[in-house]
Amino acid sequence: MKGKKNYVIGVDFGTSSVRAILVDTENGHFLSSSEFAYPRWSKMEFCNPSKNQFRQHPKDYLEGLDHVVKDCIASCSAEVVKNISAISIDTTGSTPVAVNEEGIPLSLLSEFEENPNAMFFLWKDHSAVAEAARINDIAQKDFPEILKFSGGIYSSEWFWAKLLYVLRNDEAVGKACASWVEHCDWMPFLLTGQTQGKTMKRSACAAGHKALWAQQHGGLPSAAFLKKVDPLLERFAGLYTEVHTSDESSGTLTEEWANKLGLSENVMVGVGALDAHMGAVGAGIQPNYLSKVMGTSTCDMLVSPVDSGSNAVKGICGQADGSIIPGMIGMEAGQSAFGDIFSWFTDLLCWNGKNAEHTSEDRKSAILERLSKAAEKIPVTSETELAVDWFNGRRTPDANQLLSAGIIGLNLGSDAPSIYRSLAESTCFGARQIVERFRTEGVNIEGVIGSGGVAQKSPFIMQMMADILEMPIRISASQETTALGAAMFAATVAGVYGDVSKAMEKMGFGFSKVYLPDEEKRTVYAARYERYKELAAFLENQLTN
């Protein structure tokens, strides 16, 4: 492909919106970008936060994709559009949906269009706590190997638990469900015009981290295991028999989608993946550095040579061959709530009793900036307010969605900045627990690569995290690392680069800032971290016994 310009599109389906970037494959330069907020999600339709029910309608995704791709190419010349060669997509996960035989989400059918159980179960939906407990119970008693590469604990945020919840709680949806599909697998299937759900290409990333796929035990869990968990699951044994890495092609755009988006039918569509995994690629992940994608939650990614893949790490969100960089083992951990905590706190501060609308993002940003400036001035002592960050349960280490957060040390002098400071500190202590788990399991971590909204916007939290982790944090220079990672994979799928590591080298942005730990704060934070662990242990004991 030498001698001509080549462009690709990276699409990132996030929790609240979808983003797209049009990128020059030669240097990673953005020609344009676009973002679309999901209209139904913004009204919290089909959701019930008090029950941890978070569902998204596929129409939000379809309308969003149509908008962002058209918007990206609207300002470009015909020559640029003609030379767009590939598009790759990442999504949140595990965000699965029930589909019929043709691979159509049931919520796109008239009889199920208002049924939340027929919609995508967003990653942070914790409806399936009881189902996850059942999976863990059977696995740990009778099939111990099944959880070996999933950290030893199966989460209610993941694929099988959510499917079992639907089968147990909605007979109509369960009966109509021909297959259970991750969002990142459905989008390429849709764009390439496939019509048989059974032949859908499944992402190695989502399969390995969320669906218990492992070549070491023959792929997906056996029919015997699924039947023992619940006979309702048995018919989903062998749902798929192979998985694909994101440097592979799913096909090319259909005539319908090419016309709809304004692109050529020759545009290749890459195999999808989960957002944090592609985000780690966009941020420049490398061995021995924890790539921490910090948004509404965090996803903490590591890569290591394949020959280390037999060493299972306990208590994380799994490890899978090729889930981040093909040819390497990808490991995932994370915190179930991060930016969500600060969003909750600003909503709390702004509540006026007159409406139930969430605070605008611009106002939240302004409030958080003022809180950070005030919190920076608070002297940290052993008596300062202390929080535990389990506002949406605990993802890592040792997933437990039954846990909840807590704050101690409150008094009549506690104000908004001091409480905010304790919340920020708790997220950093939660991050330290993840680092310590990797290290105790024999995984070396020398530093952190930070990306995402919080990493870009909050020097206060990033400096505190460097102090608490006692490691340098390098901040990715790109503000769109996840979509950029998707674009890097698109360039690889198109054949511009032989592998994604080369695409990272040529299209990466490097780092904009490095936060170094303040040695003077080591002692006070070490002492407070011990108190955090004591408080966390107390809360866990009270909430689970």
Whole-angstrom Cα distance, residue 155 to residue 493? Answer: 32
Mean pLDDT of 96-120: 97
- Residue 319 is assigned to a structural domain of this protein: no
At residue 31, the pLDDT reads 97
Are 140 and 314 in contact by the 8 Å Cβ rule? The answer is no
Residues 43 and 106 in one domain: yes
Least confident piece of the model among 280-294, 295-309, 351-365: 351-365
SS3 2: coil
- Residue 187 is assigned to a structural domain of this protein: yes
At residue 362, the pLDDT reads 82
Is pLDDT at 222 greater than 80 in this prediction?
A: yes
Residues 408 and 357 in one domain: yes
Max mean pLDDT range (190-199, 399-408, 448-457, 526-535): 526-535
Residues 516 and 495 in one domain: no
- Residue 264 is assigned to a structural domain of this protein: yes
Cα→Cα distances 346→313, 393, 420, 469, 521, Å: 36, 20, 9, 26, 28
Residues 457 and 396 in one domain: yes
How many domains, in total, are found in the chain? 2
Q: How confident is the model at residue 309 (pLDDT cuts 50, 70, 90)?
A: very low
DSSP 412-423: TT--HHHHHHHH
Least confident piece of the model among 186-195, 320-329, 356-365, 377-386: 356-365
Q: How confident is the model at residue 310 (pLDDT cuts 50, 70, 90)?
A: low
- Residue 225 is assigned to a structural domain of this protein: no
The percent of residues above 90 in pLDDT, for the chain, comes to 87
Q: What Rg do the C-alpha atoms of the chain give, in angstroms? A: 22
- Residue 159 is assigned to a structural domain of this protein: no
Residues 185 and 48 in one domain: yes
Residue 24's CATH number: 3.30.420.40
Q: How confident is the model at residue 355 (pLDDT cuts 50, 70, 90)?
A: low
Residues 35 and 83 in one domain: yes
- Residue 129 is assigned to a structural domain of this protein: no
Quickly tell me which residue has 């920076």 as its tokens: 376
Q: Which residue has the higher pLDDT, 153 or 311?
A: 153
Residues 206 and 347 in one domain: no
Residues 440 and 525 in one domain: yes
At residue 358, the pLDDT reads 58
Least confident piece of the model among 14-28, 107-121, 346-360: 346-360
pLDDT tens column, 69-92: 999 999 999 999 999 999 999 999
At residue 467, the pLDDT reads 97
- Residue 89 is assigned to a structural domain of this protein: yes
- Residue 407 is assigned to a structural domain of this protein: yes
Is pLDDT at 514 greater than 70 in this prediction?
A: yes
Closest CA to 241 of 278, 211, 277: 211
Residues 32 and 86 in one domain: yes
At residue 356, the pLDDT reads 46
Cα→Cα distances 104→175, 195, 363, Å: 15, 8, 39
At residue 301, the pLDDT reads 95
Q: How confident is the model at residue 96 (pLDDT cuts 50, 70, 90)?
A: very high
DSSP 442: T
pLDDT tens column, 368-413: 999 999 999 999 888 899 999 999 899 999 989 889 999 999 999 9
At residue 306, the pLDDT reads 77
Closest CA to 97 of 154, 20, 170: 170
Q: Looking at the chain, how many residues does it have?
A: 545
Cα→Cα distances 211→147, 237, 239, 394, 529, Å: 10, 12, 11, 19, 34
At residue 90, the pLDDT reads 98
0.85 surpassed by pTM: yes
Mean pLDDT of 486-493: 98
Residues 246 and 377 in one domain: no
Range of the domain at 262: 7-121+175-211+241-283+480-507
Are 296 and 15 in contact by the 8 Å Cβ rule? The answer is yes
The percent of residues above 70 in pLDDT, for the chain, comes to 97
At residue 47, the pLDDT reads 96
At residue 70, the pLDDT reads 98
Is pLDDT at 1 greater than 50 in this prediction?
A: no
Residues 375 and 521 in one domain: yes
At residue 296, the pLDDT reads 86
Is pLDDT at 354 greater than 60 in this prediction?
A: no
Residues 440 and 484 in one domain: no
